[in-house]
Amino acid sequence: MTVFELALRSMRQNVKHYYLYFFALIFSMSLFFVFSSLQHDQQVQSMLQSSDRFMVAFQSAAALLVVIIIIFTISSNQIFLRRRSRELGLYQLIGLSKGWVARYLIIENVLLGLGALIAGIICGALVSRLFVLILMKLLRLDGLPAIDFSLPATFDTAIVFVLVVVITSIQMMIMIYRSTLLHLFQAEQQPDLSSQPPSKLASILTAIYAVLGIVLIGYGYELSGRMVDEQLTLNALLVLVSTITGTYILFRVTIRWCFFWLRKRKNGNLGLNNSLSLAPLMHRMKGNANSLTLITILSALTITLVTMAYSAYYSAEQETRMVMPYDFSFENRQLDAESFTTELEREGINFLYFPMEAFRTTGVILNPLDESSRIERNLLWLPAEQLQRAGEKISVPSYGEAVEYSAFAYNAFDDIDLSKRYPTKIELESNGQTESYPLKKVIVENLVNSNISGNQLLVSENTLREIEERLSGTAGYERVQLDTYRVPDIEELALASSLYQKYNLDEYSTSDFYSQYKQALEISGLFIFIAAFLGLAFLASTGSILYFKQMTEAEQEKQSFKTLRQLGFDERMIMKGIARKQMVVFLLPLFIGVLHSIFAMKAASFIIISNITIPTVISIGAYTAIYFLFALFTLGYYRKIIRNVMS
């Protein structure tokens, strides 16, 4: 019998071992085929070609998805090889060489991979249209996706398949050539069991390491709250390194040390429930530290990515309105404004028109944090009373005082804490004299559209007249006539936006609310789709890895269940202890991952102007709900094992 024939026969007889790894491969190939189909879809391609940012986002997501697939497959393959370690040891025990065993595993791997590739492409083709439809709905695109089979996506998936097979084959060869017979036969035994108690020095060092893990995580959290400054890159790197290292130490040392401390306090009398929950965790925590750390970090990354993307999508209209308070505006273009008004009336579009008189000067806004900084800026002086008559809910500043309005205030300053910069003063120079005006505060929104240049300063009409009398005729002074429009109906707003485009002086950017809102919706919609897709891949990968490991542990604990059955314990009593164990196994990575993501989102919150509380709650809730499905599947598998043992 040849190696190839033996591999086929072994695959037929060991389906119970192969289905885990086979599922992992099918899932990986399906995910990549779906994403590649999106890249090659005609409607998506036309959108990608319209923006370099879209193309970069899709390419980056594709590369990240390949990394996820490789990590997922390697982890699944490692569990798969560990479950078959005794079989591989027997092959060598009867005289077969390591080279023969390696060839045997590689042939199996290629055959499994080919089957998974075909099944993955078929499954991916069946659901790919659904994902295209979801993307179109997010981007508010009309029509239905065409039903077709993407040959380019098939070719891309085949390349990823070859990459995965090569990497897993190398992993198998390393495992065979580096493992001894004793290691192969003991691979499935419970790790970390020691008959000798640790020495006093070892106990002290363990306690120090245990505290170090918590300290590193705490330092990462503390630094994340003040990382946005001139050393942003270095701070971000320190946060990542300290948090990831602290998480690894937490799982490898801290939690295990806490369990041993608890057992010592109970004088070793854990009881049935703790024996079925805490005892296995104590003995396996060190060996599971790598996978639990990976699951925690991926969970934190997933929740952070999805929340930030959803926040941008959720707040697209609100943030655009903060930047563009009026739907349309004209600056010193009365003829264009009259022509646009005529077109709106001709089309029967209901609109509100607000004219406004302001002026622009040059001046210096003092920075209390750096008194030597004297950057001259364009200042746009706006009358509060006129804005009130236009419907703005604002307060009129006191005579001689000003209030700045800027939707980009948080993005403009490195220190983020605006209270350090306000109140301050505005200095205006005329006829060789410098006059100062108090600038009381900054409000994070615009009074007029962002395409109107100049720092937007709100003052009373009396203050405005005084400044105008002093600065009129000086260099940098300019009268500004603003004609602004609002269209209440969203459908009429889309038509009005198309009419306005002929008056847009900059062909490379948009200067009306609706166009900017649509652009923000498309960008954030694409990003939330990519983040959700990658989040699904992260979630499925982490949940599956944890599920596979628990299935392996359930197989290893069969003898313990048999012993408990002989001692008179029933299924309900055993499952109660198992449920406590699974709560710790699944809740710990989830809880720590959510905690990491909350601090990560807090550090990155300056990117999003509006409140991210609702998107955060929804993202964490959805992730937790799907994550707990894997815990239920695991409990179901344990119940099945226990019932088989007791039958």
What pLDDT does 192 receive?
47
Is residue 612 within 8 A of residue 605, CB to CB? The reply is yes
Taking the C-alpha atoms of residue 424 and residue 322, their distance in angstroms, rounded to an integer, is 24
Average pLDDT over residues 2-13: 67
**DSSP codes joined into one string, 185-240:** HHTTSPSS--SSPPPHHHHHHHHHHHHHHHHHHHHHHHHHTT--STTHHHHHHHHH
Per-residue tokens: 548: 């596979």
pLDDT surpassing 70 at residue 71 = yes
Dihedral sign from CA coordinates of 229, 230, 232, 234: negative
Distance CA(503)–CA(482), nearest Å, equals 15
Q: What is the pLDDT confidence band of residue 277, given thresholds at 50, 70 and 90?
A: low
Would residue 510 be called left, alpha or beta, if left means φ above 0 and alpha means ψ between -120 and 50 degrees?
beta
Q: What's the pLDDT score for residue 413?
A: 45
pLDDT value for 610? 61
395 DSSP assignment = P
- pLDDT tens, residue by residue, 281-291: 666 666 677 77
Does residue 528 contact residue 310 with C-beta atoms inside 8 Å? yes
C-alpha–C-alpha distance, residues 260 and 210, integer Å = 12
Contact 34, 121 (CB under 8 A): no
Tell me the pLDDT tens digit for each residue of 510-540: 688 988 888 888 788 888 888 888 887 777 7
- The Cα 412–Cα 421 span in angstroms is 12
Q: Across all residues in the chain, what is the average pLDDT? A: 79
Give the best-scoring range by mean pLDDT among 70-79, 415-424, 476-485. Answer: 476-485
On the question of pLDDT at 160 being above 80, the answer is: yes
Is the CB of residue 150 less than 8 Å from the CB of residue 36? Answer: yes
Cβ-based neighbours of 160, under 8 Å, separated by 6 or more: 28, 29, 32, 66, 69
What string of DSSP letters covers 545-607?
Answer: HHHHHHHHHHHHTHHHHHHHHHTT--HHHHHHHHHHHHHHHHHHHHHHHHHHHHHHHHHTGGG
pLDDT of residue 21: 65
> What are the pLDDT digits (tens) for 99-144?
888 888 888 888 888 888 888 888 888 887 777 777 777 777 666 6
Lookup: tokens for 620: 């964490």
Residue 189: what pLDDT? 56
Question: What confidence tens digit (pLDDT) does each residue in 540-588 have?
Answer: 777 777 887 788 777 777 777 787 777 777 778 778 878 877 887 888 8
Percent of the chain scoring above 90 in pLDDT: 5
Strands 402-405 and 433-443: parallel
Give tens-digit pLDDT for 182-228.
677 666 554 444 444 556 676 778 788 888 888 998 888 888 877 76
What pLDDT shows up at residue 53?
62
Phi first, then psi: give them for residue 429, nearest 5 degrees. -115, 130
pLDDT above 60 for 98: yes
Share of the chain above pLDDT 70, in %: 81
Q: What is the DSSP letter of 125?
A: H
Question: pLDDT tens across 318-362, in order?
Answer: 888 888 999 999 988 989 999 999 999 999 999 999 998 888 888
Return the bridge partners of 480, or none. 358
Look at 76 and 12; give whichever has higher pLDDT: 76
CA 572 to chain centre: 39
Stretch among 25-34, 378-387, 438-447 having the lowest mean pLDDT: 25-34
Work out the burial of residue 52: count CB atoms within 10 Å of its CB; fewer than 13 is exposed, 13-18 middle, 19 or more buried. exposed
Asked whether the predicted pLDDT for residue 258 surpasses 70, the reply is yes
HSE, CB side, 13 Å, CA atoms: give it for residue 1: 8
**Average pLDDT estimate for 623-637:** 85
Of 224, 51, 62, 39, nearest to 132 by C-alpha is 39
Q: In 10 A of CB 581, how many CB atoms?
A: 24
Q: In angstroms, rounded to a whole number, what is the distance separating the alpha carbons of residues 45 and 39? A: 6
